[in-house]
Amino acid sequence: MRSSLFNGYSVNLVESEADFLFLKDLVERSKTMIGVDTETTGLSYVLDKIVGCCISVGLSYSKTDYSGYYLPIRHVSGNLDESSVFSLIDYILNNKRSVFWNRDFDVFHLENEGVHIPFVGVCMMLRK
CATH number of the domain within which 79 lies:
3.30.420.10
Strand ordering across the sheet containing 9-13: 2-6, 9-13, 67-72, 50-57, 34-40, 98-100
Number of folded domains in the chain? 1
On whether the pTM is more than 0.95, the answer is no
Q: Are strands 9-13 and 2-6 parallel, antiparallel or unpaired?
A: antiparallel
* pLDDT (tens digit per residue) in 63-92: 999 999 999 999 999 999 999 999 999 999
Q: 23 and 84 in contact (C-beta within 8 Å)?
A: no
Residue span of the structural domain in which 104 resides: 2-112
- Give the Cα-Cα-Cα angle 61, 88, 38 (nearest 5 degrees): 75
**In 10 A of CB 51, how many CB atoms?**
15
* pLDDT (tens digit per residue) in 18-64: 999 999 999 999 999 999 999 999 999 889 999 999 999 999 999 99
Q: Is residue 121 part of a domain?
A: no
Q: Is residue 120 part of a domain?
A: no
Q: Is residue 127 part of a domain?
A: no
Q: Is residue 12 part of a domain?
A: yes
Alpha helices (H) in the chain, listed in sequence order: 17-29, 82-95, 103-112
